[in-house]
Amino acid sequence: MTPDDLAQDLIAAGELFHRRGWVPATGGNFSARLGAERMLITASGWHKGELKPEAFLVADLHGIPEDAARKASYETLLHCQTYRFDAAVGSVLHTHSVANTVLSRRHASIRLSGYELLKLLPGIQTHGTTVEVPVFDNDQDIARLADRVDRHMQRHPAMPAYLIRGHGLYAWGATVAQARHRVEALEFMFECEMHSNP
């Protein structure tokens, strides 16, 4: 896909997520891989329900924008970490829903069990399973946080997503569409968990 096509897919994801209440104001950030060493990512300060093609910039997988005058999202290094960890990842999406924020403040990890939508996550063929979504403490030092996530992924390479405490969800997929589907599935299950385990 071209960068323009990927931008349109990310714009559509932002519109959907905003309608669902998962990316209030300028919260969240979205990216898509551009080959082995670059990505398209939302620039800092854009409302995710009102994205336009100029809302995106190209950066390398160390988070450095090709255009030095542009400012990437504060959390770009978390996207970089996921792309560097798994070359099959084609998109990373970050949301700030009420459910994922509340649950991440309550629990050290979120156990999802018995949901039909678990089958949208990688490697899962049946609802009769349990998935553990880890929660990492928030940290204003994003490089340090990305390193903590990376060390956890090295030990648990099959994990499908993670939460940052009081902050939000990071999920990914081979394409923007697959990442979006996984976000939708996870947000649905988080909402169920929030209502069933107050």
Domain of 41, in residue numbers: 3-196
List pLDDT tens digits, range 93-109.
999 999 999 999 999 99
Q: What is the pTM of this model?
A: 0.95
Q: Coil, strand or helix: which one is 131?
A: strand
pLDDT grade, residue 125 (50/70/90)? Answer: confident
Report, in angstroms and rounded to the nearest whole number, the Rg of the chain calculated over CA atoms: 16
Share of the chain above pLDDT 90, in %: 87
- Helix, strand, coil percentages for the chain (3-state, nearest 5): 40, 25, 35
pLDDT of residue 74: 82
In CATH, what number is assigned to the domain containing residue 61? 3.40.225.10
What is residue 192's predicted lDDT score, i.e. its pLDDT? 95
Residue 71 CA to residue 44 CA, distance in Å, equals: 6
**pLDDT 10s digits, 35-88:** 999 999 999 889 999 999 999 999 999 999 999 899 888 899 999 999 999 999
Q: What share of the chain has pLDDT > 70, as a percent?
A: 99
CA torsion, points 100, 105, 111, 113, in degrees to nearest 10?
-50
- pLDDT at residue 56, as a whole number: 96
C-beta of residue 75 within 8 angstroms of C-beta of residue 29: yes
Distance CA 94, CA 64 (A): 19
| Number of CB atoms found within 10 A of residue 89's CB | 21
What's the whole-number mean pLDDT along residues 159-172? 96
CA distance 98 to 146: 23
Instruction: Report, as an integer, the average pLDDT of 102-124.
Output: 93
Banded pLDDT at 198 (limits 50, 70, 90): low
Residue whose entry in the numeric block shows the structure tokens 């990512």:
41
Triad 162, 77, 150: Cα angle to 5°: 50
Residue 126 has pLDDT above 90, yes or no: no
Integer Cα distance of 13 and 22 in angstroms: 11
Q: How many domains does the chain have?
A: 1
Cβ atoms of residues 58 and 65 within 8 Å:
yes
Instruction: Report whether pLDDT(33) > 70.
Output: yes
Question: Whose CA is closest to 100, among 55, 138, 51, 149?
Answer: 138
Burial 47-56 (b: 16+ CB within 10 A, else e): ebbebeeebb
- Nearest alpha-carbon partner for 109 in 163, 185, 189: 163
